[in-house]
Chain A
């Protein structure tokens, strides 16, 4: 089978992480438009190395290479090998990171390259790999710049990251805003093991997610009898070790319920019955300079839950303070705790915020709308 389209990402797919939801939506749109295609992603574990669904083919890279740079370069080579059989028929190659992009932007290609920038590794890897030298991150930045320069269109999920991309010299006309979205869930049943009253955190466990702040916040809400914190982590249990240690030190561990790698529809049910959803993103370069487009905020609003989030430019793009929830300065546990406390004391106003949040998603931030915008980007490439 020779494909007209390919979508490549250095991400595990499918998985319980937000990136997998995003990949599913974007790749589905691409393959709908081009009558199928090749999805090149990370595999391993139980996932098959190759899979075919009608006109769609999934190839998964599962080489166990411990060093990230070695692994990324091997992935690049693997992508090159997998694109090679389709070189003559390929019309669009959609990529999510520089190592996926590198083989796609090679000389002699006849296809167009769409580079979807959800984050910039040169900024993000400084946080996830604190021992990486600035000179190393500089090399990664150069790699990003090279791939962005040679791409035909750059898709960004927020204006903040659009600015970061323009700063790297990408001309305005190549940058297209395709916001993240959510599907508004119908009525969901309360999870059987849900506590009476709880606030919820949904997402991964990296340091920039601000879970340490959230633990300190919860310590300040110790007087609220019966209130529990539910953490729906999209990563396996052992990733939570540092946060759980901190919770024990702060004396809040016995008021926290942990759920790990729940399927998406179960997370939606947990969200829908929470008193508030908290997104305590820290005010670090990763969140401020490159921005982010936190799915947790969009999905919480879609579930009709008021959101208490850090006041970051990327979050402001999605929600308004006092309208859909509360925005508080980042890294300030006292202020975050106060905002949650006020929300809990005014349940009618909180419910109204939740309703307005849901309407806001229905009006402008659905996956259907995001996909329509992506389709428009593909149309501009065809011209």
Chain B
């Protein structure tokens, strides 16, 4: 029997495990009746359709998402140069690849937050 592989849980995550009623037309993962959105999509794909693309390799994401947000928030600041104020010199210290850079690597279990309890 194919089981639903949708991730469930808020703090402790697990798999749904109910019998699958079909597979998601977008990503093909098995989904049970309770988790299938209209059209049979899995919750992830269904939610993603509510937002614009978040793929950083997609040229529209790079070209449009960041730019229109920057424009909006620079109005907030009344400073059109706000984002360019972090220049290459500022950014250089945050490049990954040395032992000092505790937050520099990028992996699923790395330190990603700015602050710790």
Residues of chain A touching chain B, judged by Cβ–Cβ distance below 8 Å, are 9-12, 14-15, 17-22, 24, 28, 42, 44-53, 56-59, 61, 63-74, 76-78, 80-82, 85, 96-97, 99, 102-103, 105-107, 118-121, 124-125, 128-133, 135-136, 139, 146, 157, 180, 204, 206-207, 235-236, 239, 242, 261, 292-295
Distance between A140 CB and nearest chain B CB, rounded to angstroms: 9
Knowing A44-B107, A77-B65, A131-B93, the reply to whether A57 touches B47 (Cβ < 8 A) is: yes
Please report the C-alpha to C-alpha distance between residue A73 and residue B114 in the assembled complex, in whole angstroms: 13
**Contact status B85-A19, CB under 8 Å:** no
Nearest-Cβ distance from residue B76 to partner chain A, whole angstroms = 5
Contacts of A72 in B (CB 8 A): 114
Known A-B contacts A67-B94, A69-B91, A129-B100; A50 and B114 likewise in contact (beta carbons under 8 Å): no
A206–B13 touching, CB < 8 Å: no
Partner of B11, one of A24, A48, A133, A207: A24
The interface size of chain B toward A, counting residues with CB under 8 Å, comes to: 56
A239 to B93, CA, bound (A): 19
Do A236 and B73 contact each other (CB < 8 Å), given the known contacts A66-B96, A139-B86?
Answer: no
The answer to whether B50 touches A106 (Cβ under 8 A) is no
Please, which residues of chain A bring their CB within 8 A of the CB of B101?
Answer: 129
The answer for the CA separation of A46 and B106 in the assembled complex, in Å, is 14
Cross-chain contact A22 with B117 (CB below 8 angstroms): yes
* CB-defined contacts of A146 to chain B, threshold 8 Å: 77
> Does B95 belong to the interface (CB within 8 Å)?
yes
A46 to B5, CA, bound (A): 12
CA distance A133 to B91 in the complex (A): 10
A81 and B90 contact, Cβ closer than 8 Å, known pairs A50-B48, A128-B103, A242-B99 = no
Known interface pairs A107-B76, A204-B116. Does A46 touch B108 (Cβ–Cβ under 8 Å)?
A: yes
> A42 — which chain B residues lie within 8 A by C-beta?
112-113
A70 contact set on B, CB distance < 8 A: 91
Task: Please list the 10 inter-chain residue pairs (A to B) with the smallest Cβ-Cβ separation, ordered nearest first.
Answer: A45-B108, A119-B115, A50-B47, A18-B117, A11-B113, A77-B69, A68-B94, A131-B93, A136-B90, A121-B114
When chains A and B are docked, how far (Å) is the Cα of A125 from the Cα of B103?
A: 9
Q: In the complex, what's the smallest C-beta–C-beta distance from A46 to chain B, in angstroms?
A: 7
When the two chains form the complex, which single residue of A74, A107, A125, A292 contacts B117, counting CB atoms closer than 8 Å?
A292
- Given known A11-B113, A12-B112, contact A66–B95 (CB-CB < 8 A): yes
A/B interface sample: 25 pairs, CB < 8 A: A14-B13, A44-B108, A46-B108, A61-B54, A63-B54, A66-B95, A68-B94, A68-B103, A69-B90, A69-B91, A71-B106, A73-B66, A81-B54, A81-B65, A97-B113, A132-B93, A133-B90, A135-B90, A136-B89, A136-B90, A139-B86, A206-B111, A235-B109, A235-B110, A239-B111
Rounded to whole angstroms, the CA-CA distance of A21 and B12 in the bound complex is: 11
Within 8 A of A (CB), among B49-99: 50-52, 54, 56, 65-66, 69-70, 72-73, 75-77, 83, 85-86, 89-96, 99
In the complex, A257 Cα to B33 Cα: how many Å? 47
Using Cβ atoms and an 8 Å threshold, which residues of chain A touch B13? 14, 47
Give Cα A49 to B86, complex, Å: 29
Q: Is the beta-carbon distance between B44 and A85 smaller than 8 angstroms?
A: no
Whether A180 and B51, one on each chain, are in contact in the complex, defined by CB atoms closer than 8 angstroms, is no
Are A206 and B76 interface neighbours, CB within 8 A? no
Cβ contact of A14, chosen from B11, B44, B86, B92, cutoff 8 A: B11
B9 within 8 A of A: yes
Determine if A206 and B56 form an interchain contact, defined as CB atoms under 8 angstroms apart: no
Beyond A50-B43, A118-B115, 14 additional contacts (C-beta under 8 Å) are A14-B13, A24-B10, A42-B112, A48-B44, A51-B47, A64-B56, A64-B106, A73-B86, A80-B69, A81-B69, A96-B113, A121-B114, A206-B111, A242-B99
A242 to B52, CA, bound (A): 42
Q: Which residues of A contact B52 (CB under 8 A)?
A: 81
Query: Of A20, A52, A74, A106, which contacts B56 at CB under 8 A?
Result: A74
CA gap between A180 and B65 in the complex, in Å: 36
Q: Cβ of A59: which chain B residues have Cβ within 8 Å of it?
A: 47, 51
